[in-house]
Amino acid sequence: MKMTKIYEGSHQWVMFGRDPHRPEKIIDTNQYMVRTADRCLLMDPGGIELFAPMLAAVLHHAPVEEITDLFASHQDPDIISSLGLWDQALPNAKLHAAQLWEGFLRHFGCEAIEYLPIPDHGGTINLGSVELQIVPAHYLHSSANFHIYDPQAKILMSGDVGAALEAPGAPVFVDNFEAHIEKMRYFHQRWMPSNQAKRAWLERVRKLDVQILAPQHGRMFKGDDVRRFLDWFEALQVGIAV
């Protein structure tokens, strides 16, 4: 599993992805971690197949007892089907996930981990030295969907928004926005169902100072590419690819 530090301040952000052991037919995913002095949040920790390489990678940064928080942007298997395994591995963890999905996500196994239901309007995740915002992103693409914004690091973890279908081993940042568009178009047209939801999200996100937009598939957007992405997404008609 490749690890890339994307922010270093009073806390750290690390992106995990491009796992070379990933079985071929499984979509490649990016996992994100916020590490403080004594706590650790994993965002969209991934599917069952990814559990072992993911935890092995995290163990370079934190012991299991300090992995205190998990966040699932929505209920998809590539996001959180590993929950039942984290449930056995983490002695002190809480899961932040949509209230709407609680009865569904518990099918993955969630007994030791405490489920903290996120209401529709969002909320915060307090890791002690840093407070993260839970930003609503409903219907993008899941009916109850959230993103994580870190006002200190100016990073927005955007779940499936900004996702791209890439060749294995692709770079972790977009380096040529124009060339990247074709890798994103189908994903957004097909998986994102609602122009209305898209506009509501854009309005919310444009008010935030975002230096890095960090999606769950494909590459991250940095600096001006964040604005380019928002403009492109705004102009794109979604929910029409059938």
Contacting positions for Fe ion (CB under 5 A): 76, 78, 160, 216
Q: Looking at residue 15, what DSSP letter applies?
A: E
- Closest C-alpha among 201, 204, 203, 214 to residue 153: 214
131 binds, among other proteins, Fe ion, none (CB under 5 to 8 A by kind): none
Q: Which of residues 103-122 bind other proteins (CB under 8 A)?
A: 109
Contact flag: residue 151 with other proteins (CB under 8 A):
no
CB-based burial, 59-82: b 16+ in 10 Å, e otherwise: eebbeeebbbbbbbbbbbebbbbb
CB of 9 to other proteins, least distance (A): 21
Q: Which of residues 196-215 bind other proteins (CB under 8 A)?
A: none
Cα angle for residues 104, 108, 113 (degrees, 5° grid): 100
Instruction: Candidates 12, 53, 170, 181: give the one binding other proteins (CB under 8 A).
Output: 53
Q: Closer to other proteins at the Cβ: 55 or 157?
A: 55
241 binds, among Fe ion, other proteins, none (CB under 5 to 8 A by kind): none
Question: Stretches 87-95, 97-105, 158-166, 189-197: which one binds other proteins (CB under 8 A)?
Answer: 87-95
Instruction: Candidates 12, 26, 61, 170: give the one binding other proteins (CB under 8 A).
Output: 61
Edge-to-edge strands, sheet with 212-214: 123-126, 131-136, 146-150, 155-157, 212-214, 221-222
Contact flag: residue 136 with other proteins (CB under 8 A):
no
Contact flag: residue 37 with other proteins (CB under 8 A):
no
CB of 21 to other proteins, least distance (A): 8
Q: Looking at residue 173, what DSSP letter applies?
A: B
- Closest C-alpha among 184, 135, 134 to residue 160: 184
In 3-state terms, what secondary structure has residue 67? strand
Instruction: Candidates 2, 5, 60, 107: give the one binding other proteins (CB under 8 A).
Output: 60
- Which residues would be at the binding site for other proteins (CB under 8 A)? 48, 51-53, 55-57, 59-65, 84-85, 88-91, 109
